[in-house]
C-alpha cells in the first residue's frame, strides 16, 4: 500500500510538472516571450524528473514483486503445515477410535473376570464353610474317641 501511494505521488508530481510546463509554454507563446534556453532547462529538468520517477517506480515494483514472492513462499509453508496437522489429526482420531474400541473390549473382559472371581469367591466361601463344618465334626468325633 505504501509503495503504491509513493508511485501515485510521483505520477501526480509528474503530471503537475508537465501541466506547469505546458502552461508556461502557452504563456510564453501568448506573450511573445519564448526563451529557448530557459525552456530547454525546464524540459531537461522534467526529463530528469521523469527518469527519476521511472527508476523509482521500477525499484518499487521490484520490491513489491520480491515481497509478494516471499509472502507466497510463506503461504506455501503454512499450507504444508496445515496439511500435516490435518493428517496428524486424522491419524489421532483413528487411533482414538481404535483405543476406544480396545478400552470397551478390555472393560467387558474386566467385567467378566470380576464376575468370575466374585462367583469363585462365593463358591469357595461355601466350600470353606462346609469344610470347616466337616473338620469340626471330625474333631468332635476324635475328641470322643479320646
Q: Greater confidence, 119 or 55?
A: 55
In this structure, the dihedral spanned by the alpha carbons of residues 89, 91, 94 and 96, taken in order and rounded to 10 degrees, is -70
pLDDT tens column, 28-44:
776 665 566 777 888 89
pTM (predicted TM-score): 0.38
Nearest to 7 by CA among 67, 44, 53, 71: 53
pLDDT greater than 70 at residue 110? yes
- The pLDDT, as a whole number, for residue 104 is 79
Give the dihedral sign, CA 94/96/102/108. Answer: negative
Q: Greater confidence, 125 or 17?
A: 17
Give the span between the Cα atoms of 80 and 97, in whole angstroms: 26
Amino acid at each position: 500500500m505504501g509503495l503504491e501511494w509513493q508511485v501515485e505521488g510521483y505520477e501526480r508530481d509528474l503530471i503537475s510538472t508537465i501541466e506547469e510546463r505546458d502552461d508556461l509554454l502557452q504563456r510564453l507563446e501568448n506573450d511573445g516571450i519564448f526563451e529557448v534556453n530557459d525552456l530547454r532547462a525546464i524540459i531537461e529538468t522534467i526529463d530528469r524528473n521523469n527518469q527519476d520517477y521511472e527508476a523509482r517506480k521500477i525499484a518499487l515494483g521490484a520490491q513489491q514483486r520480491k515481497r509478494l514472492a516471499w509472502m507466497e513462499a510463506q503461504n506455501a509453508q503454512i499450507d504444508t503445515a496445515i496439511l500435516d496437522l490435518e493428517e496428524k489429526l486424522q491419524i489421532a482420531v483413528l487411533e482414538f477410535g481404535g483405543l476406544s474400541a480396545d478400552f470397551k473390549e478390555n472393560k467387558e473382559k474386566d467385567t467378566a473376570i470380576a464376575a468370575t472371581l466374585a462367583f469363585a469367591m462365593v463358591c469357595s466361601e461355601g466350600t470353606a464353610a462346609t469344610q470347616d463344618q466337616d473338620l469340626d465334626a471330625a474333631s468332635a468325633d476324635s475328641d470322643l474317641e479320646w
